A and B are shown apart, each in its own frame.
Chain A
C-alpha cells in the first residue's frame, strides 16, 4: 500500500525522465544515503553495535564499496554494451600502478635522445584520476578487436590484456620503482591537506567516489550514449542502419568502463590494500567482477551494488554462522561448507532468475505496486 504512485502526476518530460520518477523510491534512496553518509560514521565513531570493532568497516564495507565501483565499470561494458571482457583485473592494475607511478613521480630516462622525462610526484586525487585515464587509454586499445570479433572470442582477446599486464607489472621493475620484493606501498593519502588514515575516513572517501561515479554512470546509460550502447548490444545491424557508429559506441564503452575500473583499482590499492603486489589484480579478480555483474544483473547500475554485496559478503557471513552458533566444526570444514553452499546458491539463483538480482527487484516492485491484488 505504501508503494503506490497514484496521485503523482508528472507535467514535464524532465520529471518523467528523472532517475527515480516514483516518490517512494526517492525517499528510500534518501534514507539509504543518510545511513551511509551519516549513520555509519556516527555508529563507528562511538563504537556502537555492529561497529564495536573496525572489522565491519575494514573487512566488509570498504572492499564492498570499491568492488561495487569496479562492478559498475564492468557493467557498462558487459551489461550495457554487450562486450564480454575478462580483462577487468588488468584495468584495475593499470589504474593502480599508473596512480602509484604518478603519485611517486615519473622518470623516463631517454638515453638515446640525451634527455629524460621527469614528472614530479602528483597529489593523490590527480594521481587516482589520471590512473583511471591511463586505464581508459589501455581499454580503448584492447577494445579495438571488438570491432571485428564478438562474444566468447572477444572474451578470449581481453584475456590477453589480463595476462599481458600481469606479466608487465611483475617483470618490469620500472613500474614498481625497482622494489626488490615487487611489492609497493601507496603514497600518503592526502586530499587537499586532509589526511585520510582512519577506517572511517577511508570509508567516507570511497563512499564519495562511488556516489559520484554511480550518478555519472547512470546519467550516461540513460542518455543518448547509453541508448547507443544498448542498441549495439541488442541488434548491432539495426543499430548501424539507424546511424549508430559501432566504432564510436564500442570504444566509448571500453573507455568509460576502463576509466571507472581503473579508478576503482587505484582506490583498491591506495585506500584498501595500502601495499600490494601484482597478484592483487589477477584473473581471479576479473572473474569475481564478472560474476558480480552477472548475478547482480546485466545492464543495471543498482545490480552492480547488489551483485558486489552478494559475492563479497555472503561467503563471509556463511563463514561466521557456524562459529556464532557454536557448532563444533573445524576451520577447514567451515571453509569447504562455505564453498559448497555459496556455489549452490549461485546455481539456484541463476536458474530461478537468469537476469539476476536487478530483475528480481524490478519484479518485486511491480508486484508491490499492485499489492494486495494480483493484477
Chain B
C-alpha cells in the first residue's frame, strides 16, 4: 500500500482530557495525524474513540489540552471552525437527512461552497442557477465515484443500511475535506459491503489525497487499511504505531483479551 509521502503533521492533539461529571472519557491523550495518511483509532467499547472524534470536530470541548490543526493551536475547536477548516465526518449511527434524497444529502455537503444569497436563489436565475448546476457537476462526480447513480433520487430513509453509509460518505466527500473522520464506517455490514467500503476508503485516500482518521472494530480491516494505529483503553492511549507494532504490543493484547487478576 502507498505510504504518505510527507511527514507533515495535519492535526496534533496534545494532552486532551475530557470528563462528563465523574466519568473520565479521555485522560491526557496525545497523538498526531500526518498529512495523507490513514490513521486508525481503535480500542474496546467505551474506550473514548468517538469522544476523541467529537473533540476533534468541536462537538465536545475538552477540559484540558490543545488541538493544533493546520498549524493553528486552540484549546478547543468549534463545529463551524472545524467544518470551515476542512474537517468532515461520518457518524457511527448514520446521521443522514432522512427526509431528503441521496442527491440532496450530498448537495447539502456543498453548502459551505455555495455563495448566492436568498434573493437570487428565490428567483433561481442567472448566477444562482449556474452555481447550482456547477455544484451538481461536482456532486455527480462523487456519485459516480461511490457507484450510487441508481439511487440518487431515492429518499435516503428508504435505502438499505449499507447504501446509507455510502451516501453519508458521499456527503462528507462533497465538502472536499482535508481531514475525513470516519466513525465505524463498516459497523453492521456484511463481508462484501465491508470490502466495498474498504475500497472506497483507500480510493478516497489515493485519489483525492484526503487524510483519514478511522475508528473501526474489525481488526482485519484496520490492520490492512491504516498506516498507523492509536489504541485507546478507558480513555488512555496505551499504544501507537504501525499495525505490526500495535499487534505485538502486550498492553493492547491485554486490553482486548483481558488479564488474569
Name the residue among A12, A227, A245 with the largest chain B CB count within 10 angstroms. Answer: A227
Cα(A244)–Cα(B84), bound, Å: 10
A14 touches B88 (CB 8 A): no
Q: Mark B76-97, 1 if CB is under 8 A from A, else 0.
A: 0001101110001101000111
Chain B binding surface, main DSSP class: helix
Contacts of B133 in A (CB 8 A): 12-14, 17
A225 touches B175 (CB 8 A): no
Cα(A223)–Cα(B115), bound, Å: 12
A interface residues with partner B (beta carbon < 8 Å): 12-14, 17, 216, 219-220, 223-225, 227-228, 230-231, 233-235, 237-245, 252, 256, 299
B121 at the binding interface (Cβ < 8 Å): yes
The B122-138 residues at the A interface (CB cut-off 8 A) are: 122-124, 128-129, 131-133, 136-137
Report the minimal beta-carbon distance from A287 to chain B, rounded to whole angstroms: 24
Cα(A234)–Cα(B104), bound, Å: 12
Which of A225, A231, A237, A243 is close to B121, meaning CB atoms less than 8 Å apart? A225
- For chain B, which range describes its interface: under 10, 10 to 19, 20 to 34, or 35 or more residues? 35 or more
CB contact under 8 A between A235 and B97, given known A14-B129, A224-B114, A228-B108: yes
Cα(A239)–Cα(B116), bound, Å: 19
The 5 A-B pairs with the shortest beta carbon distances in the complex, nearest first, are A243-B83, A234-B97, A243-B112, A238-B95, A219-B124
A219 touches B123 (CB 8 A): yes
Cα(A334)–Cα(B30), bound, Å: 76
B111 touches A227 (CB 8 A): yes
B112 touches A237 (CB 8 A): no
B109 touches A242 (CB 8 A): yes
B124 touches A223 (CB 8 A): yes
Contacts of B166 in A (CB 8 A): none
CB contact under 8 A between A238 and B59, given known A13-B136, A220-B121, A225-B118: no
Cα(A97)–Cα(B101), bound, Å: 41
CB contact under 8 A between A240 and B118, given known A230-B97, A234-B97: no
CB contact under 8 A between A234 and B80, given known A13-B136, A223-B121: no
CB contact under 8 A between A242 and B83, given known A224-B114, A230-B97, A231-B100: yes
Nearest chain A residue, comparing its CB with the CB of B136: A13
A235 touches B96 (CB 8 A): yes
Nearest chain A residue, comparing its CB with the CB of B125: A219
Cα(A361)–Cα(B104), bound, Å: 21
Nearest chain A residue, comparing its CB with the CB of B89: A241
A233 touches B118 (CB 8 A): no
Report the minimal beta-carbon distance from B82 to chain A, rounded to whole angstroms: 7
A242 touches B118 (CB 8 A): no
Known A-B contacts: A242-B175, A243-B175. Give 17 more (CB < 8 A): A12-B133, A13-B133, A13-B140, A224-B111, A224-B121, A230-B97, A230-B99, A230-B100, A234-B96, A234-B99, A235-B97, A235-B98, A239-B108, A241-B82, A242-B88, A242-B109, A252-B118
Nearest chain B residue, comparing its CB with the CB of A232: B97
